Amino acid sequence: MIYRTGIGYDVHPFAEGRKMILGGVELDYPLGLDGHSDADVLVHAMADACLGALGLPDIGHYFPNTEARWKGVSSLVFLREIAGRARSMDATIINLDATVIAEAPKIYPRLDEMKAAVSESLGIPPDRIGIKATTNEKMGFIGRKEGIAAMAVATIRFQNVDI
């Protein structure tokens, strides 16, 4: 058995007329994020971290913004598909840790809901998922409240792998 780690990073600008979805949860905020799917920057970073640990291409390879079937879809669907890929590779997602970087909205009151949504999508216990938030201390595009970034790291265990 071996363990591998992957990292993910994503960023989306704010957009009017869209829902704010983070960690699979709709937040009460006047702006959403611009993107082809629901633009869930947190889940996108988590997805890339898992794909990286699996040694697979990034989220854009599997869920391209050029395909109509992904337009407006919940990014939790991406996590479900990635969890299925992991199982088919005889791999288990052991741990997922992520940080949202934003001046707003504040996510702390909804962290447990986000962890539950991600947990259900990946089929792992919520205590194996960490979600944190920080600001950018009012610097750069995040500090000017132009968008949100997220980064994540995933650890995956592979069974029956020859080294």
Whether the predicted pLDDT of 138 surpasses 80:
yes
pLDDT at 160: 77
**Which of 24, 45, 35, 32 lies closest to 65, judged by CA?**
35
pLDDT bin (cut points 50, 70, 90) of residue 45 is very high
Q: Which has the closest alpha carbon to 62: 43, 79, 74, 42?
A: 79
Pick the CATH number of 2-158 from 3.40.50.720, 3.40.50.620, 3.40.50.460, 3.30.1330.50: 3.30.1330.50
* Cα separation, 156 vs 8, whole angstroms: 14
- pLDDT (mean) for 132-154: 96
Q: What residue ranges do the domains of the chain occupy? A: 2-158
Mean pLDDT in residue range 13-26: 98
List, in sequence order, every residue forming a beta bridge with 14; answer none if it has no partner.
33
Whether the predicted pLDDT of 162 surpasses 80: no
Q: pTM to 2 decimals?
A: 0.96
The mean per-residue pLDDT over the stretch 5-18 comes to 98
